[in-house]
Structure 1
Amino acid sequence: MPQFDALLVCDCAGSMRLNPDALADAAGVPRERTRACSRLCTAELDAAREALGSGATLIACGQMAGLFHDLAAELGAEERLTCVDIRDRAGWTDAGDPTPKQAALLAEAALDAPPMPAMDVRSDGVCLVLAGARPEPALEAARLLAPSLSVTVIAEAAPDLAAPPEGFELALGRLRAARGALGGFEVTIDGFAPLDPAGRGAPRFGQPRDGARSGCDVIVDLRGGAPAFPAPDKRDGYVRVDPAEPGAAARAALEAGQLRGEFEKTLHIRFDPMLCAYSRARKPGCSRCLEVCPTGAIQPAGDAVSIDPMVCAGCGACAAVCPSGAASYDAPPVAHLFARLRTLASAWRAAAGPGGGAPRVLFHDAWGAEMIALSARFGRGLPADVIPVEVPEVEGVGHAELMAALGSGFAQALILAGPRTERAALAPQLALTRALLRGARSDEERAGLIEPADPDALEAALRAPAPPPHGAAPIMALGGRREVARLAVAALAGDPPPEPFALPAGAPYGAVEVNADACTLCLACVSLCPVGALGDNPDRPQLRFQEAACLQCGICAATCPESAITLVPRFDPRPQALSARVLHEEEPFECVECGKPFGVRSTIERIAARLEGKHWLYANPEAGRMIRMCDDCRVRAQFHARDNPFALGAPRRPRTTDDYLSADDED
């Protein structure tokens, strides 16, 4: 956590209330090094210059952050400046004391932000423009792009041209398939017929052929109708504009014209295939990430899946639903989000004091930040008890993040969804969170989703009746998502812990039920369980199970040759869930020769009943008795048995010198 030498706060021309001493304590800055201003960005700019010249400075202003960063660059103090907005998010509000929230936001600003992993992407400006039944908008876009990009137009219908176009290539065809992203698209065209520039009269096209393939860096889609990719607005390098819109060509050219050069692509997801529970030995298992990925970046790859970082848009839905942690959000990591929640909640409590209530948390993305800013400037702003937490994409906020917020001390955890939010990932996670809250004897309304169309609707939703503080002791949200969710459920439930409770279908927690009459204890399920939730006992025929580790991936049920396993989605908050218990066991069979236990009694007896005296290998009593022997005794009995089919006779006596001499004498 950085140590600040100075704190500058500004009430923005007297438009909000400030408590400089409380804010200094929250930021860890001496009170004498804290200065309250009213026009820091104009008349009192020298205060910022003085503070930056003397050490690390925290400036509580977001709107004019660019000005302060320019000033820091002028002074050679870029690394000593941190800016944070407390006005739009906390200062401009219609009621309540804003100090606890302002203090929490300043404490959060003191956290070290982890570096963002990234890769370089190169686009050489090879552009494919797709035209539909009306090729005119696409041709106009191609003319605008030709000076800066290398353009080829593929039109579904022949355009009315007096002469071949200049500056770009033209061909007829229909897009069959496309894959890739900025700098690496691959397309397949059917009916491909290039323009033949030779001859007099109107331009003619060559003989069409199907399956033509090519690559490009940018695709401009002006066909109208269905897009070439799922979630088209999340595909880098794919510009899709409705050709019927006024100015469609100019808009497409403006956006595509900027897609040439070197770019930095954030690597949003860290993936460990060793933890993936997609499959084992070709038996199907967990497919949650495949079901929620909006862009198709995730594909099966043997016993695991693979994530194409170029196609991944960073929504985080896969990390939110991954039960094993194989896919985890890395920009920033979930551990950093947990640290933010802990810091915000603890700083609020410290500033509010005893009896100050509990805050609520509002997860939002960049669209939500704009909505909050509009509400603050022109409306009532956020309620004083609502702390906004910006994340790259709200789809990445799953049940673990919501439970971590509640366990850290927030009274309610809300998600602000925007027009581009993928609801398919959020809805099941919200349903799972509410089921966990019900099972923990808490109010399920502590977790919710709001979808306002404008700032007024946002203000109304946040001022609706909310659950009171839950009163549970705050947890230390450390570890993986499953561990933090379990800690939060235990904290909210209190003592004694509740009995196991049901969860929605597809939940990543649960038990397995075994049909004892069908199970033969073959232990195939144990050998393929990806997390070791199912285990055996080396000393006895037992099937053991640790419920806290179970992912409900279904590999065990798919593997069982007797169809004896059933998945039961539920949550067991008791400590017993952390220990292994016996699901099924039988008496071992004792070897008839040495008495050593081996195998399962019922299985050995069943095999003997089916083979002894009925199969030619076990026609005589001695052979039938071998079925009831352990491995060692069976080998010895087989070796010494009469009419042993594997016997090779006595070994030949080695010849000696005397043998050779005797043979010579006889001659």
Structure 2
Amino acid sequence: MPTTLLLCDCGGTQPVDRDAIARATGHSCPKVGTALCTTQAARVAEALSAPEADVIVACRQEAPAFEALAEELDVPAPLCIDIRDRAGWSDEGAAAAPKMAALLALGARPRTPAKTRDVVSDGVCLVIGPSEAALAAAEDLADALAVTALVTDLPEILPGPERRFDVVHGRLRRAAGAFGRFEIAIDGFRAARPEGRGPLGFDAPRDGAKSTCDVILDLTGGTPLFPAHEKREGYLRPDPGDPRAVARAVFEAAQMVGTFEKTLFVELEPSLCAHSRARQTGCTRCLDVCPTGAILPDGDAVTVDADICAGCGACSAVCPSQAIAYDDPPVGEIMGQIRALGAAYREAGGRAARLLVHDAGHGREMIALAARMGRGLPAAVIPFEIGSLAAFGHAEAMAALACGFDGVEIVLGPRADRDTLGAQAALVDALTEGAGLGTGRMRLLDLADPDALSDALYAGAPDPIDAEPILPLGRRRDVTRLAVRALAPEGTAPIALPAGAPYGAVAVDRDACTLCLSCVSLCPSGALLDNPDKPQLTFTEDACLQCGLCANICPEDAITLDPRLDPSDAALAPRIMNEEEPFECISCGTPFGVASTIERIVEKLASHSMFINSDNVKLIQMCDDCRVKAQYHSDAAPFAAGNRPRTRTTDDYKQ
């Protein structure tokens, strides 16, 4: 049965081209409604009640009403997709049919469910702060949680009529963990004594007291206990001078008891990680950008603490090998969504599209306010909501440009990772400039006013890109290379990139290189390889992660990194970086070693006392087999023990 698409002009406030949308989507589109959520709800009920009904309602704002209607009818709820705030309510709403078709096509795509695991909170709460604030909050929480108040001062504290929570005094030395498993250490720990008249008394102080809790309510107003504290689940830190903020935090803490689902935001494949080899540090990109400290070294790879990870996605954007990949949704699904948006928009007759990337909080609200109170979005600007802005890196932006979009705009929220996004935008600028498309194709819109957002989007569009859309498959680095090849003219020279870029070549100083091949043994991606038949070092640029391990390990400092991207086929083939003739064994003629190295060693040892007037120098010029044979048969053979003694028998003792 074909899908039924219910369109609504929302009381005549938005133009809806039913025929154009029906042609573009292939759905059955009945007459456009005016108030499907209220007076025309019977039309929705009729569509939902049809046998094997597959219904899409082009309205996300009233989704609860449609879901309630479906529940009354005991039928599956319809899929609700917003086309009003993102397309119809606009100064260019009359031309927004292609965008509406694209948004409907994207909304109907299946989504990969988020991977989760259970986190259990028993409701053990630590309240920290001055006694006046901490005791008041603890009193409010005592009915819902098991509370301990850690007071930072010691005025006269009068106990209540009944002891509803514990009171301690001390200095919090360390806090670690996340919601459901915080670990704390307190110095100067003093527990309140419940016995005695008058103010509370406390035990003698002691250092190093340790405990655990599920929730921390920090009312100190001082330095946060954790980096990026607003991303640490279970850690609440309101402004103690704002009673409303404290009340909200107390209410939120009271709800934090039970079993909760924790989303697993990233997927880790340690075998791909280029962090270190043989105790030599290489790539540290994910460690450098993780705001919460959820990523830690773990041998040659890294490990991710899923409890601490807040899902910002910055690690996925900067990882050169995709050892860490964003998984909510997976990177491949994001690429597929971008392609689907561009394809549906073009098939509906749209031209000169731009992708507007935003989050589900600040960005969605900005778009809704701009639509309701201002000019809305231009007809060629297609919103694309993503769970975390920092997960949208240079690879996704280049995929968008190669899938039919002329530019990418990112609406920054108050908590956006500006440094990571800025670095990714600089990398896109380098790639597009090298491809002949100029800069500014990935813009960061750091705006808090909806009208300013509309003005920035209406102000002008980048020059159109004339390129055949690609199919963005494979790893992020594969998509980037494919996009650059599609966008750049044939014969484009290697594109210089900023330092720290995950693409590039290496330069080898042949005069310094001794072909020891230590770089080959440590290269995590196989970009550097040897030749088993002769002393030779080869390099494949496409595989290079620019992790720096080869440069760090080289004993002669003969290797330097050259961040760049070569869009030609030359980057896919190995090329010789250094080679020499092997030395031939003076005994059997078998090639071994490097001729210049053997000759240099012989020259340096020629004046050594152990090699003057000795055959020892010849041992250096022999292969392994001949060297062992020569030593075995020499007069000073280390294994020689003379003739074997005659075996004694019983007859020898009878004489």
Q: Structures share a fold, TM > 0.5?
A: yes
1:275: which partner in 2?
Answer: 272
Instruction: Read off the aligned partner of 1:395 and give its amino acid letter.
Output: A
User: Structure 2 matches for 1:237-276, cutoff 5 A?
Assistant: 237-276=234-273
Structure 1 residues not aligned, in runs of 5+: none
RMSD over aligned Cα atoms = 1.7
Of 442, 453, 456, the residue aligned with 1:458 is 453
Does 2:138 align with 1:145?
Answer: no
Q: What is the CA distance between 1:625 and its match in structure 2?
A: 1.0
Instruction: Read off the aligned partner of 2:524 and give its amino acid letter.
Output: P
Instruction: Read off the aligned partner of 1:596 and give its amino acid letter.
Output: T
Normalising to structure 2: TM-score of the pair? 0.96
Q: What is the CA distance between 1:482 and its match in structure 2?
A: 0.2
Q: What is the CA distance between 1:645 and its match in structure 2?
A: 2.2
* Aligned mates of 1:4, 1:109 — CA distance in 2: 16
Q: What is the SS of the residue equivalent to 2:414?
A: coil
Does 2:359 align with 1:365?
Answer: yes
1:482: which partner in 2?
Answer: 477
Of 308, 315, 320, the residue aligned with 1:318 is 315
Of 538, 545, 551, the residue aligned with 2:539 is 545
Does 2:639 align with 1:640?
Answer: no
2:428–2:441 contact (8 Å) kept in structure 1: no
| Identity among equivalent pairs (%) | 54
Could you report, residue by residue, the CA deviation over 1:33-57 in whole angstroms, capped at 9, with x for unpaired residues? 5442121112222222222223211
Instruction: Read off the aligned partner of 2:588 and give its amino acid letter.
Output: C
The verdict on how the C-alpha distance between 1:647 and 1:376 changes in structure 2, with shifts beyond 3 A counting, is: same
2:632–2:638 contact (8 Å) kept in structure 1: no
1:363–1:389 contact (8 Å) kept in structure 2: yes
Of 35, 47, 52, the residue aligned with 2:43 is 47
Q: What is the CA distance between 1:501 and its match in structure 2?
A: 2.4
2:530: which partner in 1?
Answer: 536
1:23–1:102 contact (8 Å) kept in structure 2: yes
Of 616, 624, 629, the residue aligned with 1:623 is 616
Does 2:604 align with 1:610?
Answer: yes
* Aligned mates of 1:7, 1:375 — CA distance in 2: 26
Could you report, residue by residue, the CA deviation over 1:397-452 in whole angstroms, capped at 9, with x for unpaired residues? 11101111111110111111011112121111111111111111112111110011
Of 279, 287, 298, the residue aligned with 1:290 is 287
Does 2:418 align with 1:420?
Answer: no
2:72: which partner in 1?
Answer: 74
Instruction: Read off the aligned partner of 2:156 and give its amino acid letter.
Output: D
For structure 1, which segment, 249-258 or 507-516, has the greater mean C-alpha deviation from structure 2 after superposition?
A: 249-258
* Aligned mates of 1:35, 1:454 — CA distance in 2: 37
Runs of 4+ in structure 1 deviating by more than 6 angstroms, as ranges, are: none
Of 309, 327, 330, the residue aligned with 2:327 is 330
For structure 1, which segment, 450-459 or 646-655, has the greater mean C-alpha deviation from structure 2 after superposition?
A: 646-655
2:36–2:44 contact (8 Å) kept in structure 1: yes
2:154–2:169 contact (8 Å) kept in structure 1: yes
1:525–1:559 contact (8 Å) kept in structure 2: yes
* Aligned mates of 1:58, 1:316 — CA distance in 2: 31
Q: What is the SS of the residue equivalent to 1:445?
A: coil
Of 435, 438, 452, the residue aligned with 1:440 is 435
User: Structure 2 matches for 1:459-608, cutoff 5 A?
Assistant: 459-496=454-491, 498-608=492-602
* Aligned mates of 2:326, 2:185 — CA distance in 1: 33
Does 2:152 align with 1:156?
Answer: yes
* Aligned mates of 2:600, 2:641 — CA distance in 1: 33
Q: What is the SS of the residue equivalent to 1:192?
A: strand
Q: What is the CA distance between 1:620 and its match in structure 2?
A: 4.4
* Aligned mates of 2:479, 2:257 — CA distance in 1: 44
* Aligned mates of 2:459, 2:541 — CA distance in 1: 39
Q: What is the SS of the residue equivalent to 1:114?
A: coil
Of 97, 100, 118, the residue aligned with 2:98 is 100
For structure 1, which segment, 16-25 or 112-121, has the greater mean C-alpha deviation from structure 2 after superposition?
A: 16-25
* Aligned mates of 1:61, 1:332 — CA distance in 2: 23
- Count matched residues: 650
1:117: which partner in 2?
Answer: 115
1:503–1:570 contact (8 Å) kept in structure 2: yes
For structure 1, which segment, 308-317 or 604-613, has the greater mean C-alpha deviation from structure 2 after superposition?
A: 604-613
Q: What is the CA distance between 1:198 and its match in structure 2?
A: 2.1
The verdict on how the C-alpha distance between 1:351 and 1:604 changes in structure 2, with shifts beyond 3 A counting, is: same
Normalising to structure 1: TM-score of the pair? 0.95
Q: What is the CA distance between 1:619 and its match in structure 2?
A: 4.5
Q: What is the SS of the residue equivalent to 1:469?
A: coil
Q: What is the CA distance between 1:110 and its match in structure 2?
A: 2.1
Instruction: Read off the aligned partner of 1:44 and give its amino acid letter.
Output: Q
Could you report, residue by residue, the CA deviation over 1:374-402 in whole angstroms, capped at 9, with x for unpaired residues? 11111111111000000011111111011
2:631–2:638 contact (8 Å) kept in structure 1: no
Q: What is the CA distance between 1:529 and its match in structure 2?
A: 0.5
* Aligned mates of 1:332, 1:127 — CA distance in 2: 33
Q: What is the SS of the residue equivalent to 1:349?
A: helix
* Aligned mates of 1:279, 1:611 — CA distance in 2: 36
Structure 2 residues not aligned, in runs of 5+: none
Q: What is the CA distance between 1:4 and its match in structure 2?
A: 5.0
Could you report, residue by residue, the CA deviation over 1:501-544 in whole angstroms, capped at 9, with x for unpaired residues? 22111111111111112111100010001111111111111111
1:357–1:469 contact (8 Å) kept in structure 2: no
For structure 1, which segment, 87-96 or 339-348, has the greater mean C-alpha deviation from structure 2 after superposition?
A: 87-96
Could you report, residue by residue, the CA deviation over 1:246-303 in whole angstroms, capped at 9, with x for unpaired residues? 3454222111111111110100000111111111111011111111111111111111
* Aligned mates of 2:156, 2:652 — CA distance in 1: 108
